[in-house]
Structure 1
Amino acid sequence: MIRYDALDALPVRQALPGLRDALEGHGTAVLVAPPGTGKTTLVPLALAGLLGDGPARRVVVAEPRRIAARAAARRMAWLLGEQVGRSVGYTVRGERVVGRHARVEVVTTGVLLQRLQRDQELSGVDVVVLDECHERHLDADTVAAFLWDVRETLRPELRLVAASATTDAQGWARLLGGAPVVEATGVSYPVEVVWAPPARPVRPPHGMRVDPALLAHVGSVVRRALSERDGDVLCFLPGVGEIARVAGRLGDLGDVEVLQVHGRAPAAVQDAVLAPGARRRVVLATAVAESSLTVPGVRVVVDAGLAREPRVDHARGLSALATVRASRAAGRQRAGRAGREAPGAVYRCWSEAEDVRLTAFPAPEIRVADLTAFALQAACWGDPGAGGLALLDPPPAGAMAAAREVLTAIGAVDSAGRATERGVRLARLGVHPRLGRALLDTPGGGAEVVALLSEEPPREYGDDLAAALRAARRGGDAYAGRWLAEVRRLRTDGESASGDGVDERTVGRVAALAFPERVARADGGSYLMASGTRAELGDGSPLRGAPWLAVAVADRPVGSGHARVRLAAVVDEDTARSAAAPLHAEDQEVRWADGDVVARRVERLGAIELAVRPLRDADPALVREALLEGLRREGLGLLRWTPDAAVLRQRLAFLRLHLGEPWPDVADDALHARVDEWLEPELGRARRRADLERIDAGEALRRLLPWASGEAGRLDELAPERIAVPSGSRIRVDYGNPEQPVLAVKLQEMFGLQESPAVAGVPVLVHLLSPAGRPAAVTADLASFWQDGYKGVRAELRGRYPKHPWPEDPATAEPTRHTNARLRR
């Protein structure tokens, strides 16, 4: 018997006429309805014609999570007064409860994606409702794009509804061809916001790490909320580990029941949360409780303000979840849980000032996640680059390129990116393509390991994949039950539900086939993966001492450059070589290392060196590149620079600065760029460092002089090595500073010279020396010095050097290299 009293109380009923009109007139609609209005339960029943008004239609509702799909189906069946499976059913991975005459089917977006790949027309379905589309999960975005494609090309009569409480309504409207936006205002109870930041600063989340001080604070806020408010408390935390730690802090609450709700929670616990409790409750939940679920009795929400989002470290080849600050949209969704049944309150564990700096919406998965599965789905759909798909955000080119590399390596797409027959089969397995590859290529026993890897086992199972498989086989916990259901789904060869023992070779082979770039060899105190990333085992790991591992799950701890192994299997070298065969290579390696050319023949498995032998007949071109690398790293000082060569380089630098072309640029970068012009053929004959050290840099440098124009012959005229001074001496010019060369000469040798010497029109800086060769004065204007500066120098030095001439008028005196005695003779 239909529960009309409950249905009539759902505020979204006011929006049904507008929604029907939008679908009849346009075929698509965006439904925006606050939490608790009934958009997930009433709307599908009405569109299916199950409430006695409207034509009979078959409606599929897509939910982002299994728990939400089950709960929505059960709630709709209850509203109809039926058991699940009659008029309303659900399908999630590994579980299907749908009767022959069901008119509403609730599925996860992943299930709908698989169904679309098998039947692009979605035969027999009249309406699809994409619920909670604001969460921007990759599967949901992909489903929306495929459905729009179906409607545009195959079934224009297919009706589409994008529904959410908080979303970019206009963006979705544009995506669905200018769809009308229908809003349900509803009756929402007021929710008081209580700002409850920690008294002292806490460290921001990094990777999967959450500051224990914040979790301690969340626990204290839950206790505060229990003391200040009535009703049950729903507390949002980012993950299972954080839920367990906060639960540990609330173990002494006495008559208050503490429940832990997440995707891995047993179905009995999930069901208990969705039913009224006999006593007061604290429900610790991940984001699964944000949408589509009403937890009865909740009057208070405590929000830790954190969320988990996928991230890919392409440089290390690691995919993992990262803890981030939750968006403002997520905060509104969470707060709304407190006002579904009565006025409530939300305690936010951050300050009001921080709130305005939060992002408006969560980051779409397509921007940050591993796109391998998405790229395969797009290829199977017939659009390998996804350029023709209606997506709110285009996939990043780099992530798509990385995905295509993986798919090509496992044979899922051809050189043009089109799906192969094997790729189509992989896409229909309902697991990541990597795991699908391992399943297809492991005869017998592969399903158990793939099922284990498709949903990471609990941490208490340990980091040894074979031991984790034994733990799952023993059963006794919720994870083991889900694992067994997934094994049954994956199996196609009729093997028994559980094996007679653990074949560790098979376990390792599956892990290696799924993650070939993560096969790793022991190297010192850590493991070097084929990808080039180093990985470390935890203290006390039973895997320590294994020569080879296949790393299935790894992350990167805060502040560490190495990965940390979370789950791995022991393999032998043959298995590693076989699984990672595309990474196998044997190359000549010629490079500059440890100050000289190193030439060797290397057999590699990715970054892992399997065998190394000296290379006696190295390719001359590779040797030349190694020598050039040595010159770049250690500088041109590797060549033989005689004093004359160094002076030549300085003279050329001076001419380049003051005269420009055709005089060559002899800076390091310029010389490296023109190495072919001045270091050949000597460089071509060199094989090692010692050969470089024998090359006369001065002779080589002369090749850059402007011989063709004839200017080279003016080198000694424009930048002479020595200048004749009045005494008759030829003094060397120091070009070390190309801005202004220096002439260091004894003061008496310059008597009678009125103008300072110049080279290439640039006055030299004269360093006038005492008879002992020590600096006495510096000038670029001799005439001024004789008039003004000389008197002070004469007064200071003539008593110290009485044997040398110190005339009163140096401008007219006779220059000399000698003492007074020599002059008198």
Structure 2
Amino acid sequence: MIREDVLGSLPVYTAVPALTRALDAHGCAVLCAPPGTGKTTLVPLVLSGLVGGGPVRRVVVAEPRRIAARAAARRMAWLLGESAGGKVGFTVRGERVVGRGTVVEVVTTGVLLQRLQRDQELAGVDVVIIDECHERHLDADTVAAFLLDVRAALRPELRLVAASATTDAQGWARLLGDAPVVEAQGVAHPVDVVWAPPARPVRPPHGMRVDPVLLTHVASVVRRALVERAGDVLCFLPGVGEIGRVAGQLGDVGADVLQVHGRAPAAVQDAVLSGGSGRRVVLATAVAESSLTVPGVRVVVDAGLAREPRTDHARGLSALTTVRVSQAGARQRAGRAGREAPGTVYRCWTEAEDARLTRFASPEIKVADLAAFALQVACWGDPTAAGLALLDPPPAGALAAARSVLTAIGAVDASGRATERGVRMARLGLHPRLARALLDGAREVGARRAAEVVALLSEEPPREYGDDLGAAWRAARRGGDSYAGRWRSEAERLRRAFPHPAPSRNRGSAPDPAPQTQAGPESTDAVAGLIAALAFPERVARARGEGTFLMASGTAGELLAGSGLRNAPWLAVAVADRPAHSASARVRLAAVIDEETARTAAAHLLASGEEVHWENGDVVAREVERLGAVELSVRLLKSPDPALVREALLEGVRREGLGLLRWTREAEGLRERLAFLHRVWGAPWPDVSDAALLDRTQEWLEPELSRARRRADLGRIQAGQALQRLLPWATGDAARLDELAPERIEVPSGSRIRVEYGGPQPVLAVKLQELFGLRETPTVSGVPVLVHLLSPAGRPAAVTADLASFWKGGYRSVRAELRGRYPKHPWPEDPATAEPTRHTKARLSRES
């Protein structure tokens, strides 16, 4: 029996006629409806004809999460007076509840992607609704792009709705070909905001770590809310671990404490979504922001944190990281308190901090590992994604890194097109790395064992399982918790996904055991290690001592204190994260392997050859076999390749500077003259600054390295001779060096005085008496020299760039001061007409 009274009361009901007209006219539409208006449950029923009497159409609703897909299907079935599997069903990974008469099917976006790859026309489907598109999950963006391709090329009659609570409506409208935007007005109950920051500073989150002080504070705010307000409390926390820790601090609050997240058992999820008779505290991840309606909630406590994917392409690390919630996310969370009546939100941060939050969460395509996306678009026939309609294009660097991974595992060819192997990987519904581990691992250890380990890697085991993958596998096999149940289902799905060949070699493996068979620890560890290494070859790691390892990617890894893996010679690292500002990654899940396994799994990283580098202040020449950054064997070379030695010496000069060379006074002088000419004339005179010379070492320095073998040899290289190579010989200007920047200038006394070019202006330091009779200041390349007039003892007496003015004025004071001190030297009253000299008056008399 259809619950007409409930359907008619849903606020989105009034917007359905406009949506229907938009789809009839354009085929696509954007539906904006606040949470709680019924967009997820009523709209599919109307568009399918199950409610309202329209033509019967088959509708597929794509949800971002499994929990949301199940809940939406069950809610719609309830509205029709049925159970899921009748006219309304759902399909999520590992679970399919549909019947022959199913008209509305709710699926996850990942399932819909798989379906599109198998059947691009989506035969039999009339309408697709992409729900919660504002969350900008990568699968949802990809599904939308593929569906637009299908409409353009194969099925123009396929109807498409992008539905969201809050979104960039105009952006989605443009993406869907200027589709109409239909807005539904919700019943907005007022929500009071209470700012409830911690009393003392809290360390900001980094990686997966959240300060326990904040979690204790959140628990105290929940207690406060239970006292100050009526109704159920919905508390938002970033992840399962934080939910567990806060739940542990609320054992005596006098209310049912329930946990909602993707790993929660279905029975718990159903209990939360169906309401309860007593007061409840619901601890939830972001899954409850918009995908689910939790009845009875009047209070929201928001910890202010969320989890987003991040990928460190340089280190090959992908993980979730904890970030501050966005302003849009905070609004969504607060709105949960006002769905059914006026409510209150307690925000565990200050009002000033709120203004500094980002407006929206980062689109997943901008921050996530793109390997799965790259394989999907390669299988779709557009490896660069250039022809796809996407709100945000994939970052070029991230897409290139993803294609590199796919090439290494044989999923795409050199042009980026999907190989037959790649198509098979894509259809497994796994990340390409895990698909590679399943396919290749099954040949080594059998399909069941490979499937079981891959199932462990596809959903990280609970923390209480420990950091040893082999031990976690044994725990899952004997476990009776909800994780173990999901693990068994996924392992069985994967085992059935392909014909399983017999193991090809003996790694302590026997024929596939039955599900209940217990493998010995050594066998389990070896198999777990191989599968993890096949999935993450860049993370095979060799011990460096004290619980530290070096991964093939070059990243250091550290085990937590007390880990049973600390004495392992090699590890296959399955899960690791790198805290902000840390050079090392923290290893959270790994398996013991041996060198043979590392070589097998990461064979594409094996390399050997001569390596000549500048290390510890000198040239080091070795023959090295390495696995990525991990050195497997090293032998010192007596006669390394001279070209490699030259490059190492140049590397040393670039690192430690030009002071490694021999700089005589003449060499320094030449460099200063060239710098002066470059400053005055520019080209063709070269820039001889440190940066410029280090940038051009191969031009002027490399030819001098033919006989050099080590650091000491660099000190014998005459830098001045090497610099001669940078003179503009080709233009003929080199011959004018002494003309344009003479090394010495002849003064009236006949002396040839060195010009110093090291300062901003050429300097001529000369005894005053040697310039008698010189009326004008000497110039170099048109630049007046700065004359340092010296006393007979060679000490500075005056500085001038205008000799004529000095003779008329400054000379008198200098003469008065010095002629009594140096009576043997001439001090004429008129120096402009006096005879220049280098000698005393007595010597002048004898010579005359």
Normalising by the smaller structure, the TM-score range is: over 0.9
In the alignment, is the contact (CA less than 8 A) between 1:18 and 1:182 conserved in 2? yes
Indicate if the aligned counterparts of 2:461 and 2:472 stay in contact, CA closer than 8 A: yes
Residue of structure 1 equivalent to 2:124: 124
The question of whether the paired residues in 2 share the 8 Å contact of 1:549 and 1:570 is answered with yes
What is the aligned counterpart of 2:461 among 452, 457, 476? 457
In structure 2, C-alpha distance between the alignment counterparts of 1:721 and 1:186, rounded to whole Å = 87
Distance, in Å, in 2 between the alignment partners of 1:123 and 1:805 is: 112
Determine helix, strand or coil for the equivalent of 1:442.
helix
Map of 1:181 onto structure 2: 181
Bigger drift between 651-660 and 395-404 goes to 651-660
Change in Cα spacing, 1:281 to 1:705, as seen in structure 2 (3 Å) is: closer
For residues 771-808 of structure 1, what are the alpha-carbon distances to aligned partners after superposition, in whole Å with 9 as ceiling and x for unaligned? 33322322334444344334433444444445545455
Cα distance between partner residues in 2 of 1:17 and 1:713: 89
Matched-pair contact (CA < 8 Å) for 1:577–1:584 = yes
User: Which letter does structure 2 place at the counterpart of 1:480?
Assistant: A
Distance 1:596 1:549 in 2: 33
Q: Deviations over 1:40-84 (max 9, x none)?
A: 222222333333622333222221111111112222222222222
1:390 to 1:743, Cα distance in 2 relative to 1, 3 A: same
TM-aligned CA deviation for residue 544 of structure 1: 0.3
Query: Are 2:121 and 1:100 equivalent residues in the alignment?
Result: no
Q: What residue in structure 2 maps to residue 320 of structure 1? A: 319
Partner of 2:508: none
Paired residue for 2:86? Answer: 86
Q: Kindly report the root-mean-square deviation, in angstroms, between the aligned alpha carbons of the 2 structures.
A: 2.7
Change (3 A) 1:50 1:671: closer
Within a 5 Å distance, the mapping from 1:60-79 to structure 2 comes to: 60-79=60-79
Give me the whole-angstrom Cα distance separating, in 1, the residues matched to 2:165 and 2:274: 23
Q: Does 1:48 align with 2:48?
A: yes
- Aligned residues between the structures: 823
Which residue of structure 2 lines up, in the alignment, with residue 362 of structure 1? Answer: 361
Whether the 8 Å CA contact 2:765–2:790 is kept in 1: the answer is no
Partner of 2:503: none
Partner of 1:140: 140
Select 1:466's aligned residue among 470, 474, 479: 470
Judging changes above 3 Å, is the alpha-carbon distance between structure 1 residues 535 and 800 closer, same or farther for their aligned structure 2 residues? same
Partner of 1:588: 610
8 A contact 1:583–1:605 mirrored in 2:
yes
Q: What residue number does 2:379 align with? A: 380
CA apart distance, 1:743: 2.0
Distance 1:176 1:542, change over 3 A: same
> Where in structure 2 are the equivalents of 1:408-807 lying within 5 Å?
408-443=407-442, 444=446, 445-492=449-496, 493=500, 496-501=514-519, 502=521, 503-525=524-546, 526-658=548-680, 664-671=686-693, 678-679=700-701, 681-705=703-727, 715-716=737-738, 719-737=741-759, 739-745=761-767, 747-807=768-828
| 1:641/1:174 CA distance change after superposition, 3 Å | closer
Moved more, 184-193 or 110-119: 184-193
Letter in 2 for 1:388: G
Per the alignment, residue 241 of structure 2 pairs with 241
In structure 2, give the amino acid aligned to 1:218: V
Give me the whole-angstrom Cα distance separating, in 2, the residues matched to 1:52 and 1:791: 112
Residues 724-777 of structure 1, C-alpha deviations (whole Å, 9 max, x = no match): 4454544433333362222232x4444454444444554433333333332232
The Cα shift of 1:223 comes to 2.2
Deviation string, structure 1 residues 409-450 (Cα, Å, up to 9, x no partner): 111111111111111111111111100100111122111110
For residues 437 and 349 of structure 1, the distance between their equivalents in structure 2, rounded to whole angstroms, comes to 43
Alpha-carbon distance between aligned partners in 2 of 1:734 and 1:822, rounded to the nearest angstrom: 30
Do the aligned residues in 2 keep the contact of 1:488 with 1:497 (CA within 8 Å)? no
Cα distance change of structure 1 residues 507 and 768 upon mapping to structure 2, 3 Å threshold: same
What is the SS of the residue equivalent to 2:643?
helix
Map Cα deviations across residues 695-737 of structure 1 (whole Å, 9 max, x no partner). 3333444455566776655555554444444545444333333
Change over 3 Å in CA distance of 1:680–1:413 after alignment to 2: closer
- Partner Cα distance (2:147, 2:89) in 1: 21
The aligned residue for residue 296 of structure 1 is 295
1:345-395: CA deviation from partner (whole Å, max 9, x where unpaired): 222333445444444432221111111111111111222122222222222
Q: Which amino acid aligns with 1:744?
A: V
Query: 2:63·2:132 contact (CA, 8 Å) conserved in 1?
Result: yes
Of residues 92-101 and 806-815 in structure 1, the stretch that sits farther from structure 2 once superposed is 806-815
User: Quick check: 1:305–1:349 contact (8 Å CA) kept in 2?
Assistant: yes
- Which stretch shows the higher mean deviation, 154-163 or 107-116? 154-163
Q: What TM-score, normalized by structure 2, do the two folds share?
A: 0.91
Contact kept in structure 2, 1:653 and 1:738, CA below 8 Å: no
Tell me, in whole angstroms, the C-alpha distance in 1 between the residues paired with 2:630 and 2:650. Answer: 26
Distance 2:753 2:186 in 1: 98
In 2, the alpha carbon distance for the partners of 1:514 and 1:560 equals 25
Which is further off, 129-138 or 535-544?
129-138
Residue matched to 1:261: 260
Give the 3-state SS of the residue equivalent to 2:56 in structure 1.
coil
- 1:22 correspondence with 2:22: yes
SS for the counterpart of 1:310 is strand
Change in Cα spacing, 1:820 to 1:39, as seen in structure 2 (3 Å) is closer
Cα distance in 1 for partners of 2:98, 2:615 equals: 67
Aligned partner letter, 2:96: R
Cα deviation for residue 91 of structure 1 reads 1.7
The whole-number CA distance in structure 1 between the counterparts of 2:351 and 2:683 is: 65
Deviates more, 1:125-134 or 1:792-801: 792-801
The whole-number CA distance in structure 1 between the counterparts of 2:607 and 2:651 is 24
Task: Decide whether the 8 Å contact of 1:770 with 1:776 is kept in 2.
Answer: yes
Deviations 1:131-151 (A, max 9, x none): 212111111122222222223
Unaligned runs of 5+ in 2: 501-511
Amino acid of the structure 1 residue aligned with 2:714 = L
In the other structure, the counterpart of 1:284 is 283
Q: Which amino acid aligns with 1:46?
A: V
In 2, Cα distance between equivalents of 1:77 and 1:317: 44
* CA distance 1:29–1:797, change in 2 (3 Å): closer
The separation in 2 between residues aligned to 1:132 and 1:716, in whole angstroms, is: 77
Query: Residues 669 and 69 from structure 1, CA distance in 2 versus in 1: closer, same or farther, beyond 3 angstroms?
Result: closer
Larger displacement relative to structure 2 (269-278 or 457-466): 269-278
Question: CA 1:806–1:173 in structure 2 vs 1: closer, same or farther (change >3 Å)?
Answer: closer
> 2 CA distance for matches of 1:487 and 1:325?
35
Contact map agreement 1:735 1:742 (CA 8 A) in 2: no
Distance 1:296 1:820 in 2: 113
Give the Å deviation of 1:26.
2.9
Deviation at 1:458, TM superposition (A): 0.9
Q: For structure 1, which segment, 69-78 or 331-340, has the greater mean C-alpha deviation from structure 2 after superposition?
A: 331-340
Residues 341/699 of structure 1: CA separation in 2 closer, same or farther (3 Å cut): closer
d(CA) in 2 for partners of 1:238 and 1:598?
A: 49
Contact 1:487 1:497 in 2 (8 A): no
Measured after TM superposition, the shift of residue 295 of structure 1 is: 1.5
The DSSP-based 3-state class of the residue aligned with 2:758 is: coil
**How far did 1:203 drift?**
4.2
SS at match of 1:577: helix
Q: For residue 167 of structure 1, what is the aligned residue in structure 2?
A: 167
Structure 1 residues 407 and 720: alpha-carbon distance in aligned structure 2, compared to 1, 3 A threshold = closer
Specify whether residues 234 and 710 from structure 1 end up closer, same or farther in structure 2 by C-alpha distance, changes over 3 A only. Answer: closer
Distance 1:414 1:799, change over 3 A: same
Partners in 2 of 1:29 and 1:542 — Cα distance? Answer: 56
CA distance in 2, matches of 1:271, 1:397: 42
Same amino acid, percent of matched pairs = 78
What is the CA distance between 1:233 and its match in structure 2?
Answer: 0.8
SS across alignment from 1:552? strand
**Secondary structure of 2:318's partner?**
strand
Conserved 8 A contact 2:646-2:702: no
For the residues of structure 2 that align with 1:236 and 1:680, how far apart are their CA atoms?
63
Relative to structure 1, the CA distance from residue 640 to residue 470 in structure 2 (aligned partners, 3 Å threshold; closer, same or farther) is same
1:341 aligns to what SS in structure 2? Answer: coil
**Aligned with 1:347: secondary structure?**
strand
